[in-house]
Amino acid sequence: MGDSQHEAATIYDDGVAMFEESRWAEAVTAFAEVIEFEPSDTELLALAYVNRSTALSQLERMEEAVADATAAIDLQPDDIDILAQAYVNRSIAVSRLERVEEAVADATAAIDLQPDVDILAAAYVSRSVDLIFLERTDEAIADVTAAIDLKPDDIDILAQAYVNRSIALSILQRTDDAVADLRIVLDLLPPTHELNRQALALLG
């Protein structure tokens, strides 16, 4: 590995450390430096775009997040998980931009790749949001149920999945089932958690 490639990899690792500490703006800067190196390692470059897109979404910079996820997809990395995560990231960002049909298509592309279970569960949860918006409620319930089955021990995935499913069940006037899902969320999370507060609000 040449000096510039080694430096890019080192900066990437620094960016990941910032990312894991939710230091989003600093992570964006670090990944931008990696991208400026134009490393010959396609997967490293794709990962820099993918991770920067996540950080940009956290900073509510959705158009930039879409552009980065698209850049990662265009690189067509051999690693299916990197490609799938790029589709998930773009799905989330375009959903926030109210481009729900595109969001469903991207989440579906991620699911079709059959990536790592963490990414697959995230894709199902992401797609469920937009399916609810499109009034494809039964499909949304199937998606969140799949996510719950995939990650039964992941509290974050479970909580979001149960909230989403409760919304879909309420639309179908299955009130008892919706309430049961919301009570699971309350049991999973501390009172200060955003999803706990959302569950309480939905319970009325």
Q: What is the pLDDT of residue 39?
A: 81
pLDDT digits (tens, 9 = 90+) for 183-204: 999 999 999 999 999 999 999 8
If one counts every other C-beta atom within 10 angstroms of the C-beta of residue 197, the result is 12
CA-wise closest residue to 99 among 140, 62, 68: 62
pLDDT band for 6, please (50, 70, 90 cuts).
Answer: confident
Q: What is the pLDDT of residue 17?
A: 97
Q: Is the pTM value of this prediction over 0.85? A: yes
Q: Does the pLDDT value for residue 1 go beyond 50?
A: no
pLDDT digits (tens, 9 = 90+) for 115-162: 999 999 999 999 999 999 999 999 999 999 999 999 999 999 999 999
Q: What is the pLDDT of residue 89?
A: 98
Tell me which H or E stretch contains 190: none
DSSP 103-172: HHHHHHHHHHT---HHHHHHHHHHHHHHHHHTT-HHHHHHHHHHHHHH-TT-HHHHHHHHHHHHHHHHHT
Tell me how far apart the alpha carbons of residues 48 and 202 are, in angstroms, rounded to a whole number. Answer: 38
Q: What is the pLDDT of residue 110?
A: 98
Q: Does the pLDDT value for residue 33 go beyond 90?
A: yes
pLDDT digits (tens, 9 = 90+) for 78-118: 999 999 999 999 999 999 999 999 999 999 999 999 999 99
Letter for the amino acid at 60? E
- 172-181 — which CB contacts under 8 Å span 24+ positions? 172/137, 172/138, 178/202, 179/203
**How many Cα atoms within 13 Å fall on the side-chain side of residue 1?**
11
Pair of tokens at residue 82: 């990197």
